[in-house]
């Protein structure tokens, strides 16, 4: 298998924040948007009927609310279903809504709930706790906002994309208040023990460009001890970089095969098997597309 022919999923990509000139990797037929609007969210949305299971996925997190990617030549809003030309090789783009812990100014539960009900996102994120912003948003306020957004995900039966920096103990404690919730711990960089705590809470671990850094020994050790069934891939562009033969470069979704190959090497599995498993993990988080 050619690396770029494998199924690929970037489960955390700020596509809406990328400069236009960096979007060349997208097919002109890429599809983008929220699922079809509805008057109310349902815990069990009906699957869309698709001619093919897509082989390219991008999840776009919201930071201050809804993610908005509407590049005129490279996206189209999903309406009642998928057009007949939704063929393998195109990127399917799914947009979340969520408020990042560093952007909680004017956060309001009623506004968040109303917006979520209108947009009907497939996932709520990125949301969480971050010690770096506690001078602006106190820890207890961040926790309150996280609970509100987790409750919305629980009520609507959708997963979450979780951002946690320096507050893992508090985040895990709060997740225990929401049994059955699932999602992704975005940007995992921790130990095997921390990984197991999130796995027990029902979360997959987002593995990104840091794994390509030769100095990321703790992350490499944790991934070595896990199985691909526990992982999804991500890039967090345009905020992340990676190392290519010692040269630091800006990450793009085109480096996903490098991340998959590194995971496969650490776990002693084939590239093809690892690619298939981590893609299936991402696909399972999209209520509108059944696994095949």
| pLDDT confidence of residue 27 | 57
291 has a pLDDT exceeding 60: no
How far apart, in Å, do the first and last CA atoms of the chain sit?
20
Quote the CA–CA distance of 133 and 136 in Å, as a whole number: 6
| pLDDT confidence of residue 244 | 87
| pLDDT confidence of residue 3 | 63
| pLDDT confidence of residue 70 | 57
88 has a pLDDT exceeding 60: no
What CATH topology corresponds to 3-283?
TIM Barrel (3.20.20)
The stretch 113-127 carries a mean pLDDT of: 93
The stretch 81-108 carries a mean pLDDT of: 75
The 10s digit of each residue's pLDDT in 121-153 is 999 999 999 999 999 999 999 999 999 999 999
| pLDDT confidence of residue 54 | 56
Of 26-30, 67-71, 254-258, 283-287, highest mean pLDDT: 254-258
Question: pTM for the full model?
Answer: 0.85
Where does the pLDDT of residue 18 fall: very low under 50, low under 70, confident under 90, or very high at 90 and above? confident
CA distances from 98 to 11, 66, 113, 216 (A): 15, 6, 10, 29
The 10s digit of each residue's pLDDT in 191-244 is 999 999 999 999 999 999 999 998 999 999 999 999 999 999 999 999 999 988
Element of type H or E holding 272: helix 271-283
């Amino acid at each position: 298998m050619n690396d770029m022919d494998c199924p690929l999923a970037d489960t955390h990509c700020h596509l809406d924040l990328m400069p236009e000139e960096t979007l060349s990797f997208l097919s002109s037929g890429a599809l983008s948007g929220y699922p079809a609007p509805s008057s109310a969210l349902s815990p069990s949305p009906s699957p869309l009927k698709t001619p093919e299971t897509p082989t390219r996925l991008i999840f776009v997190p919201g930071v201050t609310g809804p993610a908005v990617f509407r590049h005129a030549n490279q996206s189209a809003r999903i309406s009642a279903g998928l057009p007949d030309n939704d063929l393998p090789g195109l990127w399917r783009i799914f947009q979340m809504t969520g408020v990042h812990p560093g952007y909680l100014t004017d956060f309001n539960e009623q506004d968040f709930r109303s917006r979520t009900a209108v947009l009907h996102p497939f996932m709520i994120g990125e949301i969480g706790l971050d010690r770096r912003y506690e001078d602006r948003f106190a820890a207890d306020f961040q926790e309150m906002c996280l609970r509100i957004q987790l409750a919305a995900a629980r009520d609507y039966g959708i997963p979450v994309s979780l951002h946690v920096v320096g507050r893992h103990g508090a985040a895990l404690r709060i997740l225990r208040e929401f049994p059955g919730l699932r999602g992704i711990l975005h940007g995992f960089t921790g130990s095997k023990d921390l990984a197991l705590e999130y796995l027990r809470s029902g979360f997959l671990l987002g593995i990104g460009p840091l794994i390509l850094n030769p100095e990321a020994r703790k992350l490499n050790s944790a991934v070595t001890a896990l199985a691909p069934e526990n992982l999804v891939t991500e890039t967090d562009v345009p905020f992340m970089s990676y190392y290519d033969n010692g040269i630091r470069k800006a990450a793009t979704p085109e480096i996903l095969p490098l991340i998959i190959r590194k995971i496969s090497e650490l776990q002693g599995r084939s590239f093809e098997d690892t690619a298939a498993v981590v893609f299936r993990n991402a696909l399972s988080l999209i209520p509108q597309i059944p696994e095949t």
